[in-house]
Structure 1
Amino acid sequence: MVLSFLLIFAHSIAINAQQRNFNLSRGSSLSPTENSSLFSQSGKFAFGFFPFGDGFAVGIWYESGTLQKTVVWTANRNDPPVSRNATIGLTNDGRLIVHEVGVQEKPIANTTGPALFVSMLDSGNLVLYNSNLTIIWQSFDYPTDTLLPGLLLRAGDELVSSIFETNHSMGSFRIKMQTDGNIVMYPVGSLDAPDFAYWASVTNFVGKNATLTLDGNGRLYMLNSSGAEVKNINNAAVPSDGKMYRATIDADGIFRVYSHNLIENGSQSIEWYVPDDRCRPKGICGINGYCDLINLQPVCACPPGFDFIKHEEKNLGCNRNFILESCAFKNDHTEYTIQELQSIVWLESTYAILPSMTIEECKLACLEDCNCEAAQFQGQECKKQKLPLTFGRRTSQQEDGKPSPSMLVKVGMDSGRNGTIAPKESRKVLRMDILVIGLACISFALIVLAFSAFLIFRYRLWAYKKIPYKSNDQGLIEDVSLRVFTYNELEVATSGFSEPLGSGSFGTVFKGTLSGQRRIAVKRLDLKVVAEVQEMEFLNEMRSIGRIHHRNLVRLLGYCHDGSNRLLVYDYMSNGTLSSYLFKSQLKPNWVERINIALNIARGLLYLHEECETRIIHCDLKPSNILMDEYGHAKIADFGLAKLLMPEHSRTFTEPIRGTRGYIAPEWHMDLPITVKADVYSFGIVFFVIICCRKRLDNDAPEEEAILVKWVKDCFKANEVSKLVPEEVDQQSLERMIKIGLWCIEEDPAARPSMKKVIQMLEGIVEILEPPCAHSSFQY
């Protein structure tokens, strides 16, 4: 009896100790079910699991007070919630991870070496120490949406808002400490350009490489490159005791400084914020919508002829509620009218400017132009525009010293079925028919939307449970040391290289299984390929590739350089190549899934071209070098096996031709410099293969359709792009995609967009101009 009591007492002490951990040592873990967290010494901050959706997320929050947790940092913020059986642990080899039963572990910290223990500091900084008690990683180096006292937002760093107050995934707005000394706020995904900025500190006088920080008294100020204070941003006075401060870019795009009175149960107050106008954040009301300030509160509205995409989430924007006929089917029976909006502006998507006009002449000019979907009239200037309209808001009558603008929007007038005008005697009947049909369609659409949302959520949940994802939406993951295998180990793992998965220009790939049942793909490099490569050169290249980690690149796990054998060990991709995924599987990916596949590839290329430590040109991008994981996510393979570009080189000359016929850029044949734009060309060809869901060359197709790129150009010129896809898709979306591909395969490399611009075009952030669409003998 006494022994049982002692065991229960010891167990109770252990639980209480775990709930008040100040350090996390190797082999220890935190769990959401036992409500265990890692606390700072004063108890003001805690690290661990907090409720998110139907599960939990990992982060840091204010622990003091009885109010709802105020989260100040989130790990893997774009990941879906984890389940109740998840744990945070410091492994025996010194890695801080999230482990969930049946799911691949997710790293939290990217360390340069093994950690001895983890500590939560009173500043709100989560730090990892090595055996020398040196900090090897800290959360202050990877801020999310919040600036805490002591955290330095250095030149080039930015904070990104959350989606909602209760959803800390990346939202729509960012504030950046620019290298020119200015602090500027932009929409997420936009260029760092004045057209996209909606607030700036105008502090370029402080010089380059300035730093933004917050002190314990609530002062938001800047340091110059030598560390001296040069500018107080919010002119804060010294506050009373008992308060803690944070500066956060909120989900509505406003940057606020908050005080938390820990004496009064953590009560929160707003001490300062910018901008003053809550309609200033660009994109707050989505595409085609505009923001109107009513009683100092931002209210989203749609222009005439438009309805909210989703009434309960008006920030998503608006869609047209009538059918605008294509110019190819223009007829005399189609009628439209122009609705005028005073003092409403959108970011210009102008394709024609007509000077010296009256507003009535501007209206008529838009009505008579089937391409014109809206026009902005200001002064005597008429600017014709196309959808989508972006960054809309109401302006003051004389903003920026210019006369008040008028927005002219083309809408259908008494539209009946198929967008044609009903006879006057039947319009009342038609209106009732339209009402009944419309209600039925809306009901059906809501059911489909709900079902689609469920499928998309489940799809993303599956995907993110496997893929380690970086904190700022470009896909970086933690650097993990490569494992060195012996040839015998890989021979056993692959059962004597008995199950080939495919072969390419560098070697043959075999399926294998490591101890622990982890499936791998082993690439055995051809001896001819590596015969001229010295051992040190091979090892250096492996180290370079080993530092390249991105969610859209096939992960290199290790390598073998045993004697003359050279083998690479990769993560196994269960859905095979993109070619087999598109053409051999029974269930074809739908339109949205195909666009997402293209975005996966584009993001992987952007990382190789601009974001990894060593800039890389792939040189052989094609469907067979793109692999699909079990969740339908695309990952680029064979990167880094072509020549690596050193940082001091921006391009290579006199390269031997590499790549695959039909996918290589024209400059390979012209003795021209080979730059990252060669990969953009290859992406364009792959992009057409994806969205059209057919092979680049189809000998079974009619002669005029056999060569995909030629057929795409012919259909685009004839305004018959709907022939290119196997299902019915939105015409405007399809035309946008075709234009993107045509820009990518421009013969002149300088005319091709960068991969960053391609991603922006795919996401609908930037306008897509009409491509020159010139033929080239090399692209077929």
Structure 2
Amino acid sequence: MKLIINFSSTIFLLFTTSISAYTFSDHISPNFTASYLQFIANTGTFLLSRNKTFKAAIFNPGNQQTSFYLCIIHAASNTVIWSANHAPISDSDTVKLTVEGITIFDKNGNSKWSTPPLKSQVQKLSLTEMGNLVLLDQSNGSLWESFQHPTDTIVIGQRLSVGASLSSASSNSNLSTGNYKLTITSSDAILQWHGQTYWKISMDSKAYKNSNDDVEYMAVNTTGFYLFGHNEQVHVYQVGLSVANFRVAKLASDGQFTISSFSGTNLKQEFVGPDDGCQIPLACGRIGLCNDNSLSSSSSSTSSSSPVCSCPSNFHVASGNLHGCVPNDVSRTLPLACSSLTNNNHSQSNSSVVSFLNIGYGVKYFGNIYSDPIMFGVSLSDCQGHCSSNCSCLGILYRNSSGSCYMIENELGSISNGGEGDMLGLIKVNIGHDIDNEQNSQKDGFPVIAAVLLPIVGIIFLLALVFFLMWRKFTKSKKQEVKLGKQISISQHSSGDLDQDAFYIPGLPTRFDYEELEVATDNFKTLIGSGAFGVVYKGVLPDKTIVAVKKIINIGIQGRKDFFAEIAVIGNIHHVNLVRLKGFCAQRGHRMLVYEYMNRGSLDRNLFGGHPVLEWQERCDVALGTARGLAYLHSGCEQKIIHCDIKPENILLHDQFQAKISDFGLSKLLSPEQSGLFTTMRGTRGYLAPEWLTNSAISEKTDVYSFGMVLLELVSGRKNCSFKSRSHSIDDDHNNSSGNNGNSSNSSTTGLVYFPLYALEMHEQKSYMDLADPRLEGRVTIDEVEKLVRIALCCVHEDPSLRPNMVTVVGMLEGGTPLPQPRMESLNFLRFYGRRFSEASVIAEENEHGSVRIQQPRDSTRFVSRFSYISSQQISGPR
């Protein structure tokens, strides 16, 4: 009987599968479910375009049987042009289409990927003849398109706008996001690996520049590859190709950007960048030595040269050749950069001994073509010393003829021959001691007497060593007590000053004399910034390094302590998203800090000032960089660091709009048990978390709140709190950064617009595009705006425990962490804030014009006096 039941069940399963496995043409309707097993007879295909040019399938790239992805595929060439889920699913996991969109579920019912919330219900899912997967409403209006969310490929009819990117897959069979990115800027198309540029279309000999117009988007069509200007008639850059009906531009998993066309039965590669195979960052793995095989490749544009790989002297191939080359000496290990935020046994530490291994002369590194030396006219030892003290530095290239010092930062790629003859390469290593190997190598052939005497001698030596260490510790502690007593007595002296010889911090990069900085700044001629506690000047050091010199003023007793605390905190902290302290001056009452120079200035000047509008991708890069910097301060250091004054003025921008946090020197350095004791107010109006006003405990979640407020300003391009005419719309008087332009003679009434409340209201209405900076003029999608607004609102929850930590925020911005829904019950305080700000603005205006005064409620008066009108200079740290 049981056998009969099982047999019947099997027949029923086969019958229902054969019915449901019908491949649809053109479109499907909601309440549709598909899995690979369900459509296995059609190799996972469940939807075809009208003429069967493209297909939608649950696909296993590389014919492996474990990882499946929802893909759009060019049928004739079997080329994947788009994939939905970066995390793979199994052959039994399901893709479901409902009126709310597409969702991919695993066998446990967990969502692995889904389309974002849509403005109306889905009527059907269509696959066009161009390869665009589109969700349509009942009026055939587009709700979502795969063309607007490219992965590693674009095809004819698809555009990649300025600020958008293609990201490589990890491999041909693993479609998770890899480490290579193609980004479109207003002037170029750039390939990057871990943020390091290794190719630009503007420097490719096969690309022709036709116009000085700003680039608006990249596209391929039937005649070639183009960077278009303001319309399709303006070709800023072009690569002319033969006529083809199907053409695909792809960022491959190995980091090469290729353009291919379909001819007959195969894809023909027409363009590759870079065409020098050794210019690919990992052409030969980590520290692999790449030689361009010119015999196997000419200057053809259709293929790159074939590299021949080896290891430099002092290195050998790593086990399995998975990671390139490693040192021959097993006691030497390659360090990890501090920016990796990784606790690894081989990471650099203060106790490790740093050395360098020579990789020879005449070498070059892919990143040096697009970067300047960090120092000029210095000796090799100076170059090595700079790298030794910088945990981000993993190696150097040094040119003897000019004394130029190039640094390899954060990630190690391949090295190649063919560089300048006087260019020397050195790789930094940590030195350890392989005792086991020494013991094993010396064990054989020992005489008997050695086996007897050595343990005795060893015991005597160990006893002597213990007594010596105890004696040295005792004498050292005595000396420290004497030195500490002297410093305390000096600090209590009536003069209240410390000269440069009485103050010392181990590991601080450089201590400058006042005269040196006076010369470097041309007698403090060029002012580039100012704040309540200091002014900042531009300077040039003797080695041509441009720096920012912050001159502390009105320092006072507490200010002096803060100054020394700032040096102690940041002197040995290095992170790619933190402004680096290069040195200091503490001489004859002068207190100055010397920072790396950030050539694009502060975020507020770029976002609110008269600078060219920040594109959406640039804003996202700023947000991600700032989040990474805060995550490091909160959890990447030995002790937790809370900034307490995150605002656009304290976020500085470098090349490619790399964001770096400044002015964390006056932050409070807290241990976990101390974090609840810090209640002294510090911050700036508009970015203060509610706990400042209620005397609640201050924690790292205070920075999360301020970051959320900055994120809203990045979305809107306006200050969160600014005066505007009530007769104007929310988009009028854009860029009013001063916060008081509402008093113009043309406006009869003014109001203080509290943008966070407006953002909350638009979130409730799902009207996210009303929040976007209107200057972007459609160059941002509703999904992109919604993502940042939801993250921002989660960050500004009134209850600090509901705010995500910055590591989680980084994951949300990167896309690896799902976006939560903001908790409305913890955001209602924004309505109170908005009402109080509006009341305060009306009273301020009426008082100014001598009209009727309105008596505010007590709580409102107290709130305004403590929050709305408190000066940013009163409670802000130095800039």
TM-score, normalization by structure 1: 0.49
